Amino acid sequence: DESTEQCNNNEPFHSWDNGSVFDGECDGAHSDTDDSSTLISQPRQINKVEVQYDKTAKQVDVQALKLTLWNSIQGSVQLTFQGEKEMVSFRDILANFPTECNAAATVTDITPHLCFICLLHLANEKELSIQSCPNLDDLHISLPNVGVSKSGAVL
């Protein structure tokens, strides 16, 4: 087969214009020295922002933290119950967080972001309603269809 013999030839291909590719001539089509007026400007750079964060791992019992938050929410509702839907402040819950919480080795290991994550879990499990404040510095938590028994316990 004549075409197979041509393909299996180990001879180098000849240039289509009968010139050597490596003879040093260059037409400038792919040159790296383009006209500087066609280059784009350097993108705007910003200063590096150092974010302070805790670099040590802490172990927190999320179930215990959720239980502590739930008890705090229920306790706040019992103290201030006036209507069918009482709002509890997330800021107040954090400010009055019990020091005897056994969710972590120390109470300082329990951070607001961990409490917020647990609050989201509780909202899903207990059908809590979470609403933001106009100035975005607090959250209002309300229990659905809150009722009070004769003993004063929240149902």
Q: Does domain 62-142 have CATH number 1.10.10?
A: yes
Q: Per residue in 52-92, pLDDT tens?
A: 887 888 899 999 999 999 999 998 876 555 555 678 999 99
Instruction: Please give the model's pTM, rounded to 2 decimal places.
Output: 0.57
What residues does 139 pair with on adjacent strands?
132
Q: How far is CA 63 from CA 39, 42, 96, 102, 107, in A?
A: 58, 51, 19, 10, 15
Distance CA 114, CA 38 (A): 52
Domain limits, the chain: 62-142
For residue 139, the surrounding DSSP H or E stretch is strand 139-142
The amino acid present at 48, given as its one-letter code, is K
